[in-house]
Amino acid sequence: MSDTNSIDEKKGEHLSSDSTDSYSSKLVSFIISFIFVILIILIYFSSSSLILFMCKIAQSNILPSEPNCAPYTDTQPTINPSPIKTNIFTTFTDPEMSMKMEIPYDINSKNKLIEIFKKYKEKTSSNFLANYFISIIEAILQFNYASINTVMNLMNSTLPESAIVGIGPIICGFLYAFGILANTLYFIYLWFTNMVWFFKINTNDTGNGKPQWEDVTLLSPLNWFFGAALSALFVFILIFGFPIVSILPMLFFHNSLISTLFMKAIMNSKQITSFTIIKETLKYYKLPIVYLISIFVVILAFSRLGALPGLFSIVTIVLIYYGIISLNIFESIPERNLSPSVSYEQATKKCPIINKNFEKHGLLYNLIFGQKGGNITKQLKDIGKKLN
């Protein structure tokens, strides 16, 4: 009899131990899930703030999207107004109020990568093969900056700020995937169209000044066939080395995004960066963040711990919300430095267009006589000299 009681006691202790271990594992699972949810929510709203920042950059129209202007050339663009006032952290009042942010062109006009390319292109010893790759990269950068300008400005002018913060990362997730595809296809197009550089030669052998590029034609058969062979080689490289070559458009696609996010702005008379906007967004959108966390706490409590802890979590949140438990997590942070909202219209940017009166001819003509255009009499004289 005593043996039976002893066995029953051991079974009871074992069951109690299993129950304690089971609840401990559930509690650990709840805590890990809770921390994970908080991180995901903070990352989501941080990405929302970066998208909001890019929207204001697009409205300011300062991105290097024009090939005729700096930093691609020495000509500075004309932006009006500069800097434009943009609305940020708007209210739901009537009239709408907002803080104001400016993104001046002068403190954001530098782009080291493009300036390095520009400096190389102007060197006397500039090489046609390097210029081939530079032309591809610059075109990709222009495409990306122009796309950011267009898409982000469209979001800024059509969606309310709360929608940008709420669903902006979801929208931009699709746009990001489309951007990767578009960059890859555009890169393939540029790979072929910029092969004209294989049929150019730098005739400036003085060691001074900028390079002078002239077209290689069939009248210079050795150089022409070298260009044709190089074209065939690069077609081969693209086809068989595409997994490696395709890294290029990805690098410069992300370079465009990162360089945009590292631009500087002025808010409340202080120079700020996108990191400041992250901090301010988490502050001014505190209530939506807290509501989301509260909802997930209840869901996790029911799913990880059971019905009773789930009900306890609801009661606790209600008591905090109504101030019975003295915590101010459901109190919003008042906005400061508000003024009536201004226009969401994008600033205008003008770049001078250099008109070159080139005559357009077919492919065969260009291969034989080059692509200089202009005075046909002078071209015929040059051809005669080469034949002599």
The domain limits of the chain are: 34-354, 358-388
Contact of 130 with 366, CB cutoff 8 Å: no
The alpha helices in 1-127, defined as continuous H runs, are 2-60, 112-121
Q: What is the pLDDT along the chain (388 residues), one digit of tens a residue?
A: 455 555 555 555 554 555 566 778 888 889 999 999 999 999 999 999 999 999 999 999 999 999 999 999 999 999 998 899 999 999 988 889 999 999 999 999 999 999 999 999 999 989 999 999 999 999 999 999 999 999 999 999 999 999 999 999 999 999 999 999 999 999 999 999 999 999 999 888 887 889 999 988 777 788 889 999 999 999 999 999 999 999 999 999 999 999 999 999 999 989 999 999 999 999 999 999 999 999 999 999 998 888 998 899 999 999 988 888 888 888 888 888 899 999 999 999 998 766 554 444 444 455 444 444 444 334 434 544 454 4
Contact (Cβ atoms closer than 8 angstroms) between residue 137 and residue 252: yes
Q: Rounded distance, CA 388 to CA 382, Å?
A: 10
DSSP codes joined into one string, 138-191: HHHHHHHHHHHHHHHHHHHHHS-HHHHHHHHHHHHHHHHHHHHHHHHHHHHHHH
Q: What is the pTM of this model?
A: 0.84
Q: Which two tokens stand for residue 107?
A: 């403190």
Structure tokens at 171: 């929208």
Cβ pair 266, 272 in contact under 8 A: yes
* DSSP codes, 223-243: HHHHHHHHHHHHHHHHHHSHH
Phi/psi of residue 202, nearest 5 degrees:
-85, 110
Reported in sequence order, the residue ranges of 45-156 that DSSP labels E, i.e. its strands, are 78-80, 85-88, 97-102
**Can you state the angle between helices 128-158 and 2-60, rounded to 10 degrees?**
100
Q: What is the pLDDT of residue 377?
A: 37
pLDDT of residue 383: 45
Q: What is the pLDDT of residue 15?
A: 46
